[in-house]
Amino acid sequence: MRKNIVAGNWKMNTTLDEGVELANNVNTLLKGKKANCDVIVCVPFTHLTSVNAVLEPELVKMGAENCSEHAKGAYTGEVSASMVKSTGADYVILGHSERRQYFGENNEQLLEKTKQALANDLKPIFCVGEVLEERENGSYNDVVKSQVEALFSLTPEEFSKIVIAYEPVWAIGTGKTATAEQAQDMHAHIRKVIEDKYGKEVADNTSILYGGSCKPSNAKKLFAKPDVDGGLIGGAALKAEDFMGIIEAFG
Ligand code: PEP
């Protein structure tokens, strides 16, 4: 059966020292109180090796926030999936709305990134989600369906390694959370889209996380929904106590 997961996305925050301290604090809090879900911190490339050194892998797993669609070579400034894997990471966030919006990442590129991640034994946390206009004009189900379908050339075995994060763009960093009912409706829709392509077993085993202004005060209500298998957490992942408060929603 699918896993419950709480994953932090630190984005472009924290210096190396601050990041190591934050990771250490998360690790320490989890040592005191065992989590009822898998916990992941996704951190800047520059922090991966040092953060990995302070995390106990049975308590907290680590991921990157992106990787290249290329395996290696003359791509100055890029970081490959094999480089990420070599730091000790197990996960990589792909297709975050900030990457799609500010760096023009498209479905074709994201499929290539996903293939690179899988070829290097990294589990993609693949983000999908509509913008405000699409929520308001009612096209949100179709938009998210086509984002998920971008991965449909993967084999069932490959797809079963993917974690989906539904992050309505209008809820990211805005303080405006989707209601638990909106999240449930979309997560059930995504699971059906997966089922229609890969069958019920793959769909039932896919963890689908909610992201967008998730905090200790609203996590419990969101995670109580049957198709919401945890969260991808931005702002609230930058304070170990807040992150822990969200993890504890799985009480
Ligand atoms: C995110 O960017 O993945 C996110 C969910 O951000 P926030 O929690 O800050 O809305």
Query: What are the pLDDT digits (tens) for 65-113?
Result: 999 999 999 999 999 999 999 999 999 999 999 999 999 999 999 999 9
Ligand 1 atom index nearest CA of 213: 10
| Residue 214: per-residue pLDDT | 96
Tell me the pLDDT band of 140, cut-offs 50, 70 and 90.
Answer: very high
Give yes or no for residue 167 CB within 6 A of ligand 1. Answer: yes
Domains and CATH numbers, the chain: 5-69+78-250 (3.20.20.70)
Give yes or no for residue 232 CB within 6 A of ligand 1. Answer: yes
CA neighbours closer than 13 Å in the CB half-sphere of residue 200: 0
Q: Are 82 and 71 in contact (CB under 8 A)?
A: yes
Ligand 1 atom index nearest CA of 167: 5
- 90: three-class secondary structure by DSSP: coil
Q: What is the pLDDT of residues 197-217, one digit of tens each?
A: 999 999 999 999 999 999 999
Percentage of the chain modeled with pLDDT above 70: 100
Give yes or no for residue 214 CB within 6 A of ligand 1. Answer: yes
Give yes or no for residue 238 CB within 6 A of ligand 1. Answer: no
Q: What is the pLDDT of residues 106-135, one digit of tens each?
A: 999 999 999 999 999 999 999 999 999 999
Q: HEC states along 23-88?
A: HHHHHHHHHHCCCCCEEEEEECHHHHHHHHHHCCCCCCEEEECCCCCCCCCCCCCCCCHHHHHHCC
> Is this structure's pTM higher than 0.75?
yes
Tell me the pLDDT band of 33, cut-offs 50, 70 and 90.
Answer: confident
Task: Determine the distance separating the centroid of ligand 1 and the alpha carbon of 100, expressed in angstroms.
Answer: 14
Q: What is the mean pLDDT of residues 10-15?
A: 98
Using CA atoms, how far residue 20 sits from 25, 158, 223, in Å, is 9, 32, 28
Give yes or no for residue 235 CB within 6 A of ligand 1. Answer: yes
Residue 58 exposed, middle or buried by CB count within 10 Å (0-12, 13-18, 19+)? exposed
Task: Determine the distance separating the centroid of ligand 1 and the alpha carbon of 83, expressed in angstroms.
Answer: 25
Q: What is the mean pLDDT of residues 156-177?
A: 95
Give yes or no for residue 233 CB within 6 A of ligand 1. Answer: yes
Residue 221 exposed, middle or buried by CB count within 10 Å (0-12, 13-18, 19+)? middle
Ligand 1 atom index nearest CA of 214: 8
Q: Which residues are catalytic?
A: 96, 167
Ligand 1 mutation pick, 13, 172, 218, max ligand atoms within 8 A of CB: 172
**How confident is the prediction for the chain on average, in pLDDT?**
97
